[in-house]
Structure 1
């Protein structure tokens, strides 16, 4: 790996630029008000995870004296210093947007956060009764006698630090903490006429908290919130039970070290000193905020609005591509490959594939990966039904899917009880591939029906993320995916596939070979081009290959939602590379590639982003789109994403970005995809009304 700050943008700083793009949506006056509040909450939630994983990782490296540097040549300490400074500026902007723009606008709509000093008599009486009957019963004040022996405070929940006057005959202040834990007392609706007014639970504790401490003088109260390190891993080389080990990791997260303290600006100097000692937090990891701590919780306020004028119009995908009601999924796929672009096309055909397979007497086996699923997953239920119906069902459940570990553990146990053969991923690697194959007995022998995706088998997120589903009965792909499952679930070595490429074995090599082909084409004076859409671009080998292709004259257009360590538009290095990042209503999540390949277009989808972790430490798939119509569909998707001038930000050579060219009336790719899907559905409905299907004898 090259180490050169002239070649690469620091990964952490690039991620913060991505989060700034999300925050810019919260500041955009063209975005509906409730959506702006949601984007603010998403920015805060993203930042929570950044602290838990990335800041936690850097602090762990410093604690362990790891000397390694990143691709820019920065040590962990240097990266942390740069990141902390940038984060503090971002947090200041977040509160400026919330307090100066969003909260006044919400107030005009009648959604008002009340200060406890401006309550009506009716509201004061209501809160007094609520405190005595509910809050005092649910919340528990805990006196702090020795910070080293204080009970654990949960991460990302609200607490109130209470400063008490010194005891008789003593000089030092005393302290207590009131943890809110997982209670639903954060937002308390107030009685009133017409308007929706509410007060924060921590403000109520500040107002009435004296009742917790009868006979004592409460000097001050300060709400605060803790974020803990979540960069913990499980050992897989000592023969221990993986499921048990993952449960231990979840427990370890609860008491890992503090990476951030958010505390109200009302905090007194003695209370802040107490919290620093209690949580053992560094000065630079303290964020004294001028508004409510934990802005991610504002998602609850945004979701409470019932006035659709201040949200994006509801979108429910009605287009099902080539899948017709009443026609078997197997028949449709058998008649031709199908490509769906979610959430514009419905995820329902993917669910139907598993549901039909579960009850079809000719289906013999189902093999599937599960990375992140929904709480009430119809796909998991169908897999259990299939096993109960005597099908041979094998599911690879990735227990190490960060922040979904507990849900995956629960699903794994339920699947096992239903008779499903559950495999907990691959030792030492994370299984991130999205694939399913149904083996069906037909007149001409066994046929394999495949689904390959860029997103998870999760019908909930399929309505929020942009992802591609490719459904095919191609014999080569069917052969390859069976061989892939058998190799990853057993001890066999991965053989060379006919069409598929998998990480960590051959996926990077295949991508580099495709880039090299375009490079050689350009050097020979022939047409060459690369178009790609990914979430993140970090891998130094891939970036250097793209630089080489650019210098050879290859025109490269990239759509990168998140981290981009490549520097586009640098003379003599990357002047032929342009990078656009689209941030809009739906989370851009698809990974798509198009190489012109001398006129023989190579079009592929992948579960992998272009990051070392995906290419070296995860089990991923790179899948060629073999059907001409489906190829053209992917190329059209890429073209429109590159053309976005309303929500597309151009990434600059220093890693920052330029604002959209025409945010008010420019091309907005997501709206255009919605319009195309609506037109497809209307055309399908019109065709059904004018097509007569004769019924034969029963």
Structure 2
């Protein structure tokens, strides 16, 4: 998989290099990730509407980045905080570099949109702005505006007699410079677009020759402004969009966490303006007024000749054109459960197994809880909920269990960003049903994905556990790649109980048998395993590490990987998003390779594998799945679980099927250059001896090893280990 180790000499040892030479900037690395997402909008291998989906995702990603990360840096600048980042930059320096990168990214987004609009138009889907329409379509559009828009918008004059209206986070509006026809007097009016309205209006196909024509609502407001302002001449107009600081500040001494979060959410809606987006042709007089009234401080102001709020294209993606989308994929239900007549507990009791989402159905996780609710032998259920989404399947199962007389405890994390309101809603419904709802630590998020069910069997209690790398969220489980591990191993059950006691009662666990937890010992476990590989390498024995995660930013972890590289340990990392580690730098990290996979599904699982004296993959390797990335917040400010994989079949699946397939992928992979920080698509053959390989395609067409059961025991699962290129 990698070249022979190169042991550095003292002359080329880069261990004392400057921070800028040792680490990448976190924020710029994130922008590089979003650039890779945006690149998929130009991928000719994807159907057109899927390419538009990637463009929309890049827009929503960038919005969140601005509202959270940029807002945080801007707040530091306002507070004169000069603490430097991992790579040695001050907040002001980071904002300057971000500004340059964001403007380039936005220019790429508009270029991609222009290309996709042209290609979609050739397929009969038109995303129009101010284009002229046929008379019948124009009449329909005007009537629709008068009946659907005029009643719900409120033009507001901007003058000393009227307070400046509040523009919500993500809000889109239009400003008009008007001249009264009767006396020539001028005024500026604002029209805010209600966020409850769909972003686009679709014309009836019978008026468009059967083609799909979509017009953005804000363009419609400008198009028919004369209907909103009778008696006035429109001298100028312009559309704008506002993004605000959306991070929540939590007081550690809060007495009522629910009340605190309700008020914090209200404050977030009125946060400091961080970005103002304007039409390129925005009326200068109106622009000056808008800038003054919004009170811009350390805010980005961008102008564009294209669409504001690229994330709004998600509505266009929903157009009913299956020929322009991926062929629908139906997840498999694990054969191991089916061969036990759908009895999840019988299947778990017979043997540990892993469910690989989204290739295998999330329904097995829901069935685990549903069957527990209906099972008279089940005594109690404990469930950690970080993001449950707006689909009530998991919530309903817990409510049913409580109503059936089970002892049900739900740890609901209120600090799940942008899901706070939804989680508050679920918490209220759970409490009303009799579920004991716990909110965990004020100063730490409970991010571990754990569920445990205690069942009475033969006069004794047996604990069944689910450990996941992803959330109990039925919608994201369709597109996020995650692992669900089911076990009735008694040691795991005892550890899970201690984990819940830690969160609900602040009882720090003692004598853990299997799990490692953040913020207690998870990082120490991983660091110890890296140290073991370093010792093996120094003894001249095989030493290698494979790992898959969403981000690596924690300095101690990065430095330990550098130490491993200098000792000769072969390290291959699959890092989907932020990577502050510089791979392949002589004297520092020449034995480290970093790749990123961007494709149809969002890589989300965390897997850590250590050779343990053997060449990977190996039955003797130490393998873990986890909810934790290698970030400071995950290792020190969250409750996370690191789960060792000890069952041989599960071990083989996680290491030799899931993780290895990620390493072998060539068609969706990008390699990180440790010097420039640039990513380039993997050329065929870099990671694979032979033909190109697509890991998502592989998982969609092959049953999992641990979940296929006896019914599929003769099915052929390709031997990936035999395909890898050995050093």
TM-score, normalised relative to structure 2:
0.91
Residue-pair matches, total = 685
Q: Answer whether contact 1:23 1:43 (CA < 8 A) is retained.
A: yes
* CA gap 1:125/1:74 in 2 versus in 1, 3 angstroms: same
2:440 equivalent among 411, 417, 425:
425
Distance (whole Å) between structure 2 residues aligned to residue 290 and residue 147 of structure 1: 33
1:466 and 2:481 aligned:
yes
Tell whether the 8 Å contact from 2:625 to 2:645 is kept in structure 1 after alignment: yes
* Contact 1:164–1:174 (CA under 8 A) maintained in structure 2: yes
2:338 to 317, 320, 324: 324
How many Å separate the matches in 1 of 2:232 and 2:162? Answer: 24
What corresponds to 1:437 in structure 2? 452
Structure 1 residue 649 corresponds to structure 2 residue 670: yes
- The two structures have a TM-score, normalised by structure 1, of 0.94
Q: Is the 8 A contact 1:435 1:453 kept in 2?
A: yes
Corresponding residue of 1:666: 692
Aligned to 2:189: 176
**Alpha-carbon separation, structure 1, partners of 2:395 and 2:318:** 28
Deviation at residue 165 of structure 1 after TM alignment? 3.0
1:120 aligns with one of 110, 134, 138 = 134
Seen in structure 2, the aligned counterparts of structure 1 residues 233 and 504 have a Cα distance that, compared at 3 Å, is same
Shift of 1:401: 0.3
- Deviation, 1:685, is 6.1
- In the superposition, relative to structure 1, how do residues 686 and 517 fare at CA in structure 2: closer, same or farther (>3 Å)? closer
Specify the alignment match of 2:390 in structure 1: 375
Q: Is the 8 A contact 2:336 2:707 kept in 1?
A: no
The correspondence for 1:494, drawn from 504, 509, 515, is 509
Q: How does 1:117-196 map to 2 (within 5 A)?
A: 117-146=131-160, 149-165=163-179, 173-190=186-203, 191-196=207-212
Q: 2:217 aligns with which of 194, 201, 215?
A: 201
What is aligned with 2:637? 617
Shift of 1:151: 2.3
- Deviations, residues 144-199 of structure 1 (Å, cap 9, x unaligned): 1249931211121321111223798898x521111112232421112322111122
Find the counterpart in structure 2 of residue 343 from structure 1.
358
1:550 positional shift:
0.6
Output the CA distance in 2 between the equivalents of 1:666 and 1:110: 34
User: Distance in 1 between the 2:139 and 2:162 partners?
Assistant: 39
8 Å contact kept, 1:22–1:583: yes
Distance (Å, rounded) in 1 between the aligned partners of 2:485 and 2:46: 32
- Structure 1 residues 595 and 679: CA distance shift in structure 2, 3 A: closer
Distance 1:147 1:564, change over 3 A: farther
- Find the counterpart in structure 2 of residue 278 from structure 1: 293
Q: CA deviation at 1:208?
A: 1.2
The reply on whether 1:48 has 2:63 as its aligned counterpart is yes
Q: Deviations over 1:437-465 (max 9, x none)?
A: 10011016111100000000112111110
Q: Which residue is 1:627 aligned to?
A: 647
Deviation at 1:115, TM superposition (A): 3.8
State whether residues 504 and 615 of structure 1, in contact with CA within 8 Å, keep that contact through their aligned partners in structure 2: yes
For 2:232, the equivalent position in structure 1 comes to 216
1:513-554 Cα distance to aligned partner (Å, 9 max, x none)? 111111111011111110000000100000000000011010
* Distance of aligned partners of 1:32 and 1:327 in 2 relative to their CA distance in 1, 3 Å threshold: closer
**SS of 2:639's equivalent?**
strand
Whole-angstrom distance in 2 between the partners of 1:641 and 1:82: 32
Query: Of the candidates 522, 526, 529, which is equivalent to residue 511 of structure 1?
Result: 526
Deviation at 1:36, TM superposition (A): 0.4
Shift of 1:680: 9.8
Query: Structure 1, residues 82-135: CA drift from partner, whole Å, max 9, x if none?
Result: 011010001001101111x10000100111123434111111211221122221
C-alpha separation in 1, matches of 2:511 and 2:372: 29
Does the 8 Å contact 1:565/1:655 carry over to 2? no
Alpha-carbon distance, 1:258 to partner:
0.8
Q: Is contact 2:180-2:231 (8 Å) kept?
A: no
2:8 aligned residue: none
Aligned counterparts of 2:665 and 2:438: Cα–Cα separation in 1: 42
1:568 counterpart = 2:589: no
Higher relative contact order (CA 8 A, sep 6+): 2
Partner of 2:242: 226
Distance 1:148 1:249 in 2: 28
Structure 2 residues without counterparts, runs of 5 or longer = 1-14, 615-619, 716-727
Matches of 2:629 and 2:30, distance apart in 1: 14
Partners of 2:55 and 2:109 within 8 A in 1: yes
Change (3 A) 1:321 1:14: farther
Contact 1:55–1:80, Cα closer than 8 Å, also in 2: yes
Counterpart-to-counterpart distance in 2, 1:564 and 1:182: 35
Could you say what the CA RMSD is over the residues aligned between the two structures, in angstroms? 2.3
Q: Is the 8 A contact 1:537 1:609 kept in 2?
A: yes
Alpha-carbon separation, structure 2, partners of 1:405 and 1:187: 28
The corresponding residue for 2:380 is 365
In structure 1, the residue matched to 2:720 is none
